[in-house]
Chain A
Amino acid sequence: MAERRPSSFNFRALILAGLAVLALLLVLFGPMFLDRFTLNVLTRSMIYAMLAITVDLLWGFTGVLTFGQAAFFGIGAYAAAMILTHMGASPGLIALAFALAIIVPMLVGLVVGWLSFSYKATPLYATVISLVLPIVTTQVVFSGGQWTGSSSGLVGYGTLPFGLVGFFRLAGVCLLVLTVAAWFFVRSDAGKLLVAIRDNEVRCAYLGLNPQRLKIALTTVLAGVAGLAGFLFANSSGVVAPEITGFVFGTELVIWTALGGRGTIIGPVMGTIGIDYLSANLSGELPFLWNLVIGTLFVAMIILLPNGLAALVAKFLPARRGAGAMRLTNLAAAGAQVTAPEEAALLSVKDLGKTYGSLKVLEGLDFDIRPGELVSLVGPNGAGKTSLMRCLSDGTEISSGVVRVAGQEINGRTPNEIVALGVGRKFQVASVFESLAVADCLRLALAARHRPSPVTRESDLALPTAALDILRLTGLDHMLERPVADLSHGLKQSLELAMVVALEPRLILLDEPTAGLTKTERTTIGGILQKLTRELGIAAIVVEHDLDFVRTISSRVVVLHQGRLVLDGTVDAVANSELVKTIYSGGAHG
């Protein structure tokens, strides 16, 4: 399946380019054979389709279920309509209305984004906020008196002088431009960030990216796009009413997106235009039955076909992967090679404690780690090894004491800030991005330092030498276009290690890197770790149960027992210690 098939890619691209040209022709020449009613309806449907794209980018790609796009649309439409009603429709004022219709929703979007996405907020919370927003907006419109026209809305204001046909073409061109832009964006390296956040937000943070800030930025920009759609709507329809800001309209947008196919760009566009057009034609004759059918279809689709109609269609198209050959190149060594003076501690832990309520998991830990050390952290289950790793990579987890990385206190800092100090963490269960290709995962590891392109997918992948070594040793360098979901357990572990190493960390934390691996894979990982520490001067802390493995690779061993540090010394000193044999009898067979 990972065979590169440039021809199939071209075929697929050809179909889509053909569709775009066809759509442009329809938009430009449609008014010659469509009647007024159809033109009217389709103008509206195409504006709604722009909103569906914004819903899809948030929900289908990034995984944030939102009902709030209706509110941004309504705010944009009302901002425009209020300027045009109360100040007039001279060219200057229309320009002002245009600007405000985009800026006001973006400002609201910024606030909503800040409210919705805080560190440790649940995904449900963003949905909750997206429900409150349209309800508040509608009530504000209702209580706006003559400014907003209250329940009857605003009507009869001056608009852009385009007429029915002009607005049809304007909406069509806007939709086409947005569709093409979104299509390129989600296939670009920067667009992969959205899917990465949906797949595994934690890993994003541990690659030094700030998922919260990315989602706030996305919400803000898409609020602006929704506002633009609102401006078009206010002009083309000549009326704004409270319903367009409301929660029910927000759910309709989600339904159209779901039926068309979330996670694709064309699906929601087609779904929205198709359903809104059919609704306009059928709901006159069978109003309740039509909604009943849509509701039933929606329920069935969510349960049986979560990716919508587009997923069905995609089955009949040739495979998407194989977009040209990905070339691996060597990344010129960056700042990470500047190592601290040898004697200075890279990591310094002073009196570290961690409690869950009244339960003490870690207590009074003190130790330093210098560059080039490979420290194994051992101890029976429940000794607090994983809690310690968590405290070292996420400053918000620390209950008491001080942890410094390269002299900087990390208490209270979020994982992405700690990654920026040069700490990389590999999780016990491989934490990668299941729906992306291997190359995309690796590129995301570089994204925090090398801004990914928002337009194209680069064909060169420049990685640090150490990461390239891992890929070559494990054979991943021949699987760059393979979807991560198809990789074996061992390969996922290696991929994650390569991603962490690609961050060029000064300290690397590994939680049971060899669990569930074969003997050969274990030896490979051990060799890589030794090379990283001895040749590149990276410090490593490895949580490990396999004492043979510990003995071969470590320069130092730290033993934890019941949340306290009981031994800290050379491999031999620890392996021969009676204390370790008693508390760790399960693993001590040497």
Chain B
Amino acid sequence: MIVLLDIVTTAAILFVVASGLLAIFGVLKIINFAHGAWLTLGGYCAVVTTALGLNPWTALPLAFVAGALLGAITEMVIVRPLYRRPLDAILATWGLGIVIGQLITLWFGRDVQFTPNLLSGTVDLFGASYSIYRLFTIAAALIIGCAFAFLLEGTRLGLSTRAVIMNETLARALGIDVARVRLITFMIGTGLTGLAGVLLTPLTSVDPNMGVGWLIGAFMLVMVAGSSFAALAFACLIFGGAQVMVSTFVSPILGGITVAVLCALVLRVSPKGFSRG
């Protein structure tokens, strides 16, 4: 039973971490390899709010705003010249990740920082105690998923975005401001990643390299999911589940590479991953 809960919460955490990357890849067809740096940025937003003595929850909006602002600058300066060179965009954003990581190190030092838990304690479920915070991540994943569904299906921006995803040339011809859609998408994606960074703080330690470990897993999941949030949720459940099973029953070290290896194999068999059935 605990394993089942572990699977669902692991999938929820993976979904939270990968959704910002997916939003950007789905619309811009660009892989933001500085994704890990935004997670770190979010983590340090939690550190800053703690240092200022604010309620730990205020880190969430702070991280979203900081992530989105930095994302806006990044899109305009670094990503915009590279839309036609997607492999170079991977490299340039990786370089940006190094820069952000070093700036954080210069400012805060390279030591591990501690942040107060957003929700502490455990709850008794099925005869065993389980961390309340891990359960909360399920809610967080659902909220993010629903928010995206609403943004895409229920707003004018979402309509333009879907048009850009389907046929960018036609969207441009119809007078949709593609550059604006890209900028806003990038800001939402990076803002969300900053938010995910805050949500990670109770689960991992905060240090200048905290994001890098999550990058590959998120990247692989997004490759499999294509541009669909439903596919991402599905991929998180399947591969997150496999990860928990391997970690629990085989070896935690092998568990760490389960997601990457399985995603690579899925992509070998079906290059489009889960995005088409």
Q: 1/0 per residue B63-97: CB within 8 Å of A?
A: 00000000000000010011001111011101111
Q: Is A251's CB within 8 Å of the partner chain B? A: yes
| Interchain CB contact under 8 A, A298 and B95 | yes
Distance between Cα atoms of A115 and B271 in the complex (Å): 12
Q: Is B251's CB within 8 Å of the partner chain A? A: yes
Q: List the B side residues contacting A298 at CB < 8 Å.
A: 91-92, 95, 98
Q: Is A258's CB within 8 Å of the partner chain B? A: yes
Question: A127-B90, A131-B216, A139-B257 known; A288 and B106 CB under 8 Å?
Answer: yes
Q: Is A292's CB within 8 Å of the partner chain B? A: yes
Residue of A nearest to B86 (CB): A124
Distance between Cα atoms of A135 and B214 in the complex (Å): 12
Q: Is B171's CB within 8 Å of the partner chain A? A: no
Q: List the B side residues contacting A136 at CB < 8 Å.
A: 257, 260-261
| Interchain CB contact under 8 A, B78 and A299 | yes
Tell which of A139, A258, A294 touches B98, judged by Cβ atoms closer than 8 Å: A294
Q: List the B side residues contacting A122 at CB < 8 Å.
A: 271
| Interchain CB contact under 8 A, B81 and A303 | yes
| Interchain CB contact under 8 A, A139 and B271 | no
| Interchain CB contact under 8 A, A292 and B220 | no
Tell which of A125, A251, A288 touches B267, judged by Cβ atoms closer than 8 Å: A125
Q: Is B133's CB within 8 Å of the partner chain A? A: no
Question: Among the interface residues A121, A136, A289, A303, which one has the most CB atoms of the partner chain B within 10 A?
Answer: A303
Interface positions, chain A 289-309, Cβ under 8 Å from B, are 289, 291-292, 294-296, 298-299, 302-303, 306
| Interchain CB contact under 8 A, A299 and B96 | yes
Question: A127-B90, A302-B88 known; A132 and B261 CB under 8 Å?
Answer: yes
Residue of B nearest to A125 (CB): B267
Distance between Cα atoms of A128 and B218 in the complex (Å): 12
Tell which of A118, A291, A294 touches B268, judged by Cβ atoms closer than 8 Å: A118
Q: Is B99's CB within 8 Å of the partner chain A? A: yes
Q: List the A side residues contacting B257 at CB < 8 Å.
A: 132, 135-136, 139
Q: Is A65's CB within 8 Å of the partner chain B? A: yes
Distance between Cα atoms of A286 and B268 in the complex (Å): 44
Interface positions, chain B 101-117, Cβ under 8 Å from A, are 102-103, 105-106, 110
Distance between Cα atoms of A143 and B257 in the complex (Å): 12
Residue of B nearest to A247 (CB): B216
Q: List the B side residues contacting A115 at CB < 8 Å.
A: 264, 268
Distance between Cα atoms of A139 and B246 in the complex (Å): 14
Q: List the A side residues contacting B105 at CB < 8 Å.
A: 288
Question: A118-B268, A128-B223 known; A302 and B91 CB under 8 Å?
Answer: yes
Q: Is B219's CB within 8 Å of the partner chain A? A: yes
Q: 1/0 per residue B235-277: CB within 8 Å of A?
A: 0000000000000000101101100110110011001000000
Q: Is A6's CB within 8 Å of the partner chain B? A: no
| Interchain CB contact under 8 A, B219 and A139 | no
Q: Is A255's CB within 8 Å of the partner chain B? A: yes
| Interchain CB contact under 8 A, B90 and A65 | yes
CB of A263, distance to nearest CB on chain B (Å): 13
Interface positions, chain A 134-159, Cβ under 8 Å from B, are 135-136, 139, 142-143
Question: Among the interface residues A123, A251, A254, which one has the most CB atoms of the partner chain B within 10 A?
Answer: A251
Distance between Cα atoms of A303 and B97 in the complex (Å): 15
Instruction: Determine the main DSSP class of B at the interface with A.
Output: helix
Tell which of B91, B96, B98, B216 touches A291, judged by Cβ atoms closer than 8 Å: B98
Distance between Cα atoms of A306 and B212 in the complex (Å): 25
Q: List the A side residues contacting B87 at CB < 8 Å.
A: 65, 123-124, 127
Q: Is A451's CB within 8 Å of the partner chain B? A: no
Distance between Cα atoms of A498 and B268 in the complex (Å): 36
| Interchain CB contact under 8 A, A289 and B264 | no
| Interchain CB contact under 8 A, B95 and A299 | yes
Distance between Cα atoms of A417 and B210 in the complex (Å): 49
Interface positions, chain B 182-199, Cβ under 8 Å from A, are none
Distance between Cα atoms of A121 and B266 in the complex (Å): 12
Residue of B nearest to A115 (CB): B268
Q: Is A120's CB within 8 Å of the partner chain B? A: yes
Q: List the B side residues contacting A120 at CB < 8 Å.
A: 271
Question: A115-B264, A254-B91, A288-B106 known; A295 and B99 CB under 8 Å?
Answer: yes
Tell which of B91, B103, B219, B271 touches A131, judged by Cβ atoms closer than 8 Å: B219
Q: How many residues on A have C-beta within 8 angstroms of the other chain's C-beta atoms?
A: 37
Residue of A nearest to B260 (CB): A132
Residue of A nearest to B223 (CB): A128
| Interchain CB contact under 8 A, A139 and B216 | no
Residue of B nearest to A63 (CB): B87
Interface positions, chain A 106-125, Cβ under 8 Å from B, are 115, 118, 120-125
| Interchain CB contact under 8 A, A132 and B220 | yes
Q: List the A side residues contacting B92 at CB < 8 Å.
A: 298-299, 302-303
Q: List the B side residues contacting A118 at CB < 8 Å.
A: 268
| Interchain CB contact under 8 A, A139 and B268 | no
Question: A128-B223, A247-B216, A303-B78 known; A292 and B254 CB under 8 Å?
Answer: no
CB of A295, distance to nearest CB on chain B (Å): 3
Residue of B nearest to A303 (CB): B81
Q: List the B side residues contacting A135 at CB < 8 Å.
A: 216, 257, 260
Q: List the A side residues contacting B251 at CB < 8 Å.
A: 143
Distance between Cα atoms of A248 and B33 in the complex (Å): 12
Q: Is A574's CB within 8 Å of the partner chain B? A: no
Distance between Cα atoms of A420 and B102 in the complex (Å): 54
| Interchain CB contact under 8 A, A251 and B94 | yes
Tell which of A129, A139, A247, A292 touches B102, judged by Cβ atoms closer than 8 Å: A292
| Interchain CB contact under 8 A, A303 and B90 | no
Question: Among the interface residues A139, A143, A255, A299, which one has the most CB atoms of the partner chain B within 10 A?
Answer: A299
| Interchain CB contact under 8 A, B95 and A302 | yes
CB of B65, distance to nearest CB on chain A (Å): 24
Question: A131-B219, A132-B261 known; A143 and B99 CB under 8 Å?
Answer: no
Q: List the A side residues contacting B94 at CB < 8 Å.
A: 251
CB of B167, distance to nearest CB on chain A (Å): 16
Q: List the B side residues contacting A258 at CB < 8 Å.
A: 91
CB of A151, distance to nearest CB on chain B (Å): 10
Question: A124-B86, A296-B99 known; A142 and B253 CB under 8 Å?
Answer: yes
Tell which of A121, A292, A303 touches B99, judged by Cβ atoms closer than 8 Å: A292
CB of B35, distance to nearest CB on chain A (Å): 13
Tell which of A139, A248, A295 touches B256, judged by Cβ atoms closer than 8 Å: A139
| Interchain CB contact under 8 A, A295 and B96 | yes
Distance between Cα atoms of A295 and B90 in the complex (Å): 13
CB of A61, distance to nearest CB on chain B (Å): 14
Residue of A nearest to B87 (CB): A65
CB of B168, distance to nearest CB on chain A (Å): 18
CB of A217, distance to nearest CB on chain B (Å): 19
Distance between Cα atoms of A276 and B123 in the complex (Å): 52
Interface positions, chain A 250-303, Cβ under 8 Å from B, are 251, 254-255, 258, 288-289, 291-292, 294-296, 298-299, 302-303
Identify 16 residue pairs between A and B in the complex whose beta-carbon atoms are under 8 Å apart, listed by A's number: A65-B87, A65-B91, A121-B268, A121-B271, A125-B268, A131-B216, A247-B216, A251-B94, A288-B102, A291-B98, A295-B99, A296-B99, A299-B96, A299-B99, A303-B82, A303-B92
Closest 6 CB pairs of A and B: A295-B98, A299-B95, A298-B95, A292-B102, A295-B99, A302-B92
Measuring CB to CB, which residues of chain B are less than 8 angstroms from any residue of chain A?
31, 78, 81-82, 85-88, 90-92, 94-99, 102-103, 105-106, 110, 212, 216, 219-220, 223, 251, 253-254, 256-257, 260-261, 263-264, 267-268, 271
Measuring CB to CB, which residues of chain A are less than 8 angstroms from any residue of chain B?
65, 115, 118, 120-125, 127-129, 131-132, 135-136, 139, 142-143, 247-248, 251, 254-255, 258, 288-289, 291-292, 294-296, 298-299, 302-303, 306
Known A124-B87, A288-B105; 4 more pairs at CB < 8 Å: A128-B220, A296-B99, A299-B99, A302-B92
